[in-house]
Amino acid sequence: MSRHFSEYTSDIGLSNLARLADSSTNAEDYSNSLYLLGKELGIVLAEQISDKNIKLCVACTVEDADFLAKGIIESLSVLSSDISLACFWNQRQQALSIAPIIKKYCEPAVKNANVLVIVKSIISGACVVKTNLTNLIQDIEPNRIFVVAPVIHCDAQEKLNSEFPNIIAEKFEYIYFAIDDEMQSNGNLVPGIGGNVYQRLGFKDQDDKNKFIPKLVKERRESLISAPKQKVAV
């Protein structure tokens, strides 16, 4: 087993990665570490993007929305107020390397995005990222695509690139803190993020995770629904 850290990893990043890997970290502290890692990743992203005239889309999965994605969006807000959100509920079948989408929350502004940030707490087989990215690029043509995760497997970049034609794959820019080379038979990386993210966050299983509606989605949806009413009132 070996773990390498990227040039982007700060002391805050290191301590929160260690908290994720620690099996004794409870669900609340685990979630908070994901949020803090999201904030850190967002700071790195903001430096990488730098252009303030961009239209950003942050895409995530349901389990990552309230912590990792929220942290990233907060850090990116200094760069742009024009950040849209796409959130996916995937039904992953690991044996087949597929993760069909059973529900999607996709804000109208996503279709205007020219920079796409696809976020995942961990990327190993890359099948969820591949599925959601494929779905998004049917409707949008971003100039830059950031693939962002606190931890990735050493083969993840190669695997994800192979899922796309070069014209898409050459847009990928990977931002991560740790890269692990050991994968268990159940697909979990060691140390990874300390096992199965659903269970670490307190979900019973995939079905339980897929019945969850993130607070981030509820709040943003509510503001979208109420926005036209406010305009009318003005």
Partner 1 sequence: MTHTKQVESLFGSDVEKYFINKQIGGNSNQKGSRYEDFFSVMQLAQLFQLLTNDDKDDIEIYAQAEAFVDDLLVKFQKHNAQHHFQLKTSPTVSWGTGLKSISDDFYKQKVLNDSLGVDKTRAVLVCSDKEKAARLQKNTPDNIADFSEIIFFPEVETINHLILIDDKFKTLIGRICFSNDIDKLEALAMLIFVQWVDKKTTIYSVKELLSSLEKSFPNYLARSNVAENLLPEVERIFSTITNFSFKIEKGYFSWQYHDFDSGTIPYSVDSKEFIAFQLEITSKCPKQFDELEGILL
* Binding residues vs partner 1 (CB under 8 A): 89, 91, 93, 96-108, 130-131, 134-135, 138, 162-165, 168, 210-211, 213, 218, 221, 224-225
User: Cα dihedral sign for 28, 29, 31, 32?
Assistant: positive
Between residues 108 and 185, which has the closer beta carbon with respect to partner 1?
108
Least distance between partner 1 and beta carbon 223 (Å): 11
CB of 102 to partner 1, least distance (A): 6
Nearer to partner 1, 52 or 218 (CB): 218
Which H/E stretch holds residue 19?
helix 11-21
Nearer to partner 1, 77 or 135 (CB): 135
How far apart are the C-alpha atoms of 117 and 142, rounded to whole Å?
10
* Rounded (10°) angle between helices 27-49 and 11-21: 140
- Please, which residues have CB within 8 angstroms of residue 37's CB and are 6 or more apart in sequence? 13, 16, 17, 20, 68, 71, 150, 177
How crowded is residue 103: how many other Cβ atoms within 10 Å of its Cβ? 12
Q: Which is nearer to partner 1, 154 or 213 (CB)?
A: 213
Other beta carbons less than 10 A from residue 106's beta carbon: 17
- Report in angstroms how near the CB of residue 100 gets to partner 1 at its nearest: 5
CB of 14 vs partner 1, minimal distance in Å: 34
The amino acid at residue 152 is I
Which residues, at least 6 apart from 112, have a Cβ–Cβ distance to it below 8 Å? 55, 84, 140
Q: How far is the CB of 204 from partner 1 (least distance, A)?
A: 14
- Reading the block at residue 38, the tokens are 């999201």
Shortest spacing between CB 130 and partner 1, in angstroms: 6
Q: What is the CA radius of gyration of the chain?
A: 17
Q: CB-wise, 107 or 173, nearer to partner 1?
A: 107
Whose Cβ is closer to partner 1: residue 1's or residue 232's? 232
